[in-house]
Structures are given as C-alpha cells and as structure tokens.
Amino acid sequence: MKILITGGCGFVGSNLAILFKQYYTHSEVYCLDNLSRRGSEINLQKVIAAGGQFIHGDVRVKTDFDRIPAVDIVIDAAAEPSVLAGKVPGELENLIDTNLNGTINTLYFVKKNQAAIIFLSTSRVYPYNTLAKANLVALPKRFNLSNEQSLIGLSQQGVSENYPLEGLRSLYGATKLASEYFIQEFSYNFGLPAVINRCGVLSGPYQMGKIDQGVIVLWMAKHLWKGQLGYIGYGGLGQQARDVLHVRDLFRLIQWQIANLGLQNCQIFNVGGGLENTVSLAELTDLCIQITGNTIAMGSSLENRSGDLPIYITNNKKINHFCNWQPEIKIDQLLVEIFDWLKKDENKLRAILA
C-alpha cells in the first residue's frame, strides 16, 4: 500500500503516518507538508523515525505534487484548521488557497493516479446560527442537549448527516464544505473511490494546541506549566461542551474505510467521540487538575465569541451502521496520554504550548 498524507506532519497527519508504518510495515507513507504549523517540525522527526518519507511541499502549489510518486490512497489532512481563521488580514487567502484550492490540487493528483481519497472534513460544515438554537439543559458544570429538539437531524445523541446545511458556518467551514462538493464531483465523474469524514473535535499526542484550535491539549499544557486560561461566553462558567475523539480511534476507522472502499461510494459520515465522550470546559479543568495536581487562574468573560456554540456532539449512528466502529478511548485516558507526551517532550514542547 502506498499512501500520501497531505499535512503529514500535522497532528492528525503525523499520527496516521506513524500508525500506518506500525500496522503495515511494508507500506510506503509519503508526508507532504509545508511545516507552516508551529511544532510540525517536531512531529516530522517522529514521522521520519517511524519510516515515513517527507516531502517538503505546499498543497497550494500544483506542481509540488509532481515530486510525489504514484500512490493508491490519499489522505487529505493539510489545512488551516482554525474556525477563527480568515478574519485577520492576509489569512483569508491562505485559508482559501490551502483548504479549498489545496484540496482541488490534491484531487488532480488523485485523478492522475486513479487513487482513492479520504477527506478529513469537519463538523463546522453544519451552520452555527441554527445549531445555536438547539434546546439545552444547563447543569452547573455543563450543557447537555435536551431530548426535545425541533431541528431535523438533531437529537440528544447529537448532530446527524441530514442536519440542514442552510446558514452560516464560518469561512473555515465554508472551505471544507466547498471541498466536499468538489470531492463528490471528482469521485462521480472520474470513478475515484472517496470517503468524507465530518470530524468533531479530535485530540491526542502531537497536537500543537493553541487558543483557536486544539483546546484539549491547550488546557492540559496550561495546567501542566501553570499558565492562564479563561471561559469565554455562555455565562463564563465553562459549561460549553464538545465530544472528543482520540486520533487512534480515527485511525481504526480509516483502516476499515481503506479495506472497504467499495462499500462506501463517496459517503459522508459524521465521526466523533459521541455522547459518551463529551466533556465541558469546566469538566476538562477538573480532569486536568486531577492529572497534573495543579490549579491555575481561570478567567471568565460573558461575551460569546462569534460563531461559537454552547454544545456540539457527533451522532455516530450512520458510521456505526456501516461498520460497527465505536470510539474506544475515553477522555480520561486521552488526557493521560497527552500529559505523558508533554512531560516526555517537555524540552521541545514547552516553548510552543506553554
């Protein structure tokens, strides 16, 4: 098996590359990355140590794909993944060029090789202005989704694939949804096997968490190295909640998807930790205190951040129906793994994450 992972030195890309080399020792894994994400150069060392092959390149540059050998599978994991991206001058072009034009360049390469593509899309394709109207139950430390919902595709179990797409979804979400449309057209018109995974929050070691992306690692790093954090919006109590999926559970799903490409036929799946692996910020704080032994200053602001949501939970029912896949790694185990990684690589990571 020959695999190209774009963004192969990012959080998801590097984890997948290393796991592919572990599970399929004879596979050839090429990681294309422009190393623009701070910390991706640290992940690069791990990818190389695992036997992955690095190609320093940019998905925005179509000719950079000419340097990549023929492959069977392409995993599109190169992105500007921040939901806040695009508003700062200069960022907008990079967001659209990387996330949309970069995916189209990737599709030309997929077509040239008659390869399959697995696309890491996002829950952010679902509009925030309608999701913000979900009925909530407010507990002291978290919001839950009520069992009474009037919106199609929304239940206590979370958001399903039939949730209506009309509305605003952020510039980031728009680039990913537009990419999905091109992937479907390329798949249909050129007979390319494709799978689209709309992922909720993903986490695990090698995630270079920052304020606008990678909140789970950011929370743990700030506790470990005694920084400052704050609860933003929704009353400032940290009740906002997300489901979280360990990247190794994502890998197990991708293993099945690669082995069963013919069954999926360019399907779209919501993929996430699900209701059982949902955590609020206040609960995350408690878990980080337990694991690190450190309590830190926690700020609070009442004003909601534009495009933010009080809660998002992935409903995994469709993918469960296809393959019985279930997330196996619970949040407390995920946090311990992140803690262990931060401690082990403290010398390199502290300057980036603290």
Question: Of residues 5, 7, 54, 342, which one binds ligand NAD by CB under 6 A?
Answer: 7
Least distance to ligand NAD, CB of residue 240, Å: 15
Closest listed residue to residue 70, CA positions, set 15, 28, 120, 17: 28
Question: Of residues 19, 29, 59, 115, which one binds ligand NAD by CB under 6 A?
Answer: 59
Q: Which stretch binds ligand NAD (CB under 6 A): 28-36, 152-160, 274-282, 318-326?
A: 28-36
The C-alpha atoms of residue 113 and residue 128 are separated, in whole angstroms, by 37
Compose the 152-191 pattern: x for residues touching ligand NAD by CB under 6 A, - for all others: ----------------------------------------
Tokens representing residue 20 in the block: 């592919």
Least distance to ligand NAD, CB of residue 35, Å: 5
Least distance to ligand NAD, CB of residue 97, Å: 7
The C-alpha atoms of residue 241 and residue 239 are separated, in whole angstroms, by 6
State which residue has the least CB distance to ligand NAD. Answer: 10
Interaction between residue 192 and ligand NAD (CB under 6 A): no
Beta carbons of 79 and 99 less than 8 angstroms apart: yes
The C-alpha atoms of residue 317 and residue 62 are separated, in whole angstroms, by 37
Strands 241-246 and 311-312: parallel
| C-beta of 199 vs 335, nearer to ligand NAD | 199
Tokens representing residue 275 in the block: 């209701």
Helices 346-353 & 215-224 angle (0-180, nearest 10):
110
- Which residue's entry shows tokens 């979804």? 169
Question: Of residues 21, 37, 142, 246, which one binds ligand NAD by CB under 6 A?
Answer: 37
Least distance to ligand NAD, CB of residue 104, Å: 12
Residue numbers 112-131 binding ligand NAD by CB under 6 A? 120, 122
Least distance to ligand NAD, CB of residue 194, Å: 15
Least distance to ligand NAD, CB of residue 302, Å: 26
Beta carbons of 262 and 180 less than 8 angstroms apart: no
Question: Of residues 19, 68, 78, 159, which one binds ligand NAD by CB under 6 A?
Answer: 78
Interaction between residue 74 and ligand NAD (CB under 6 A): no
| C-beta of 101 vs 237, nearer to ligand NAD | 101
The C-alpha atoms of residue 171 and residue 167 are separated, in whole angstroms, by 12
> Which of helix, strand or coil describes residue 147?
coil
Question: Of residues 5, 9, 117, 194, which one binds ligand NAD by CB under 6 A?
Answer: 9
Dihedral sign for Cα atoms in the order 204, 79, 308, 249: negative
Size of the site for ligand NAD (CB under 6 A): 27
Closest listed residue to residue 326, CA positions, set 261, 267, 280, 275: 275
Show the beta-strand stretches assigned E in 82-226: 116-122, 136-139, 142-145, 154-155, 158-159, 194-199, 201-203
Interaction between residue 34 and ligand NAD (CB under 6 A): yes
> Which of helix, strand or coil describes residue 212?
coil
The string of DSSP codes covering 55-100 is EE--TT-GGGGGGSPP-SEEEE--S---TTTTSSTTHHHHHHIIII
Least distance to ligand NAD, CB of residue 165, Å: 17
Residues in the chain: 354
Interaction between residue 10 and ligand NAD (CB under 6 A): yes
Least distance to ligand NAD, CB of residue 241, Å: 15
Interaction between residue 199 and ligand NAD (CB under 6 A): yes
| C-beta of 96 vs 287, nearer to ligand NAD | 96
Binding site for ligand NAD (CB under 6 A): 7, 9-13, 33-37, 40, 58-60, 77-81, 98, 102, 120, 122, 199, 201-202
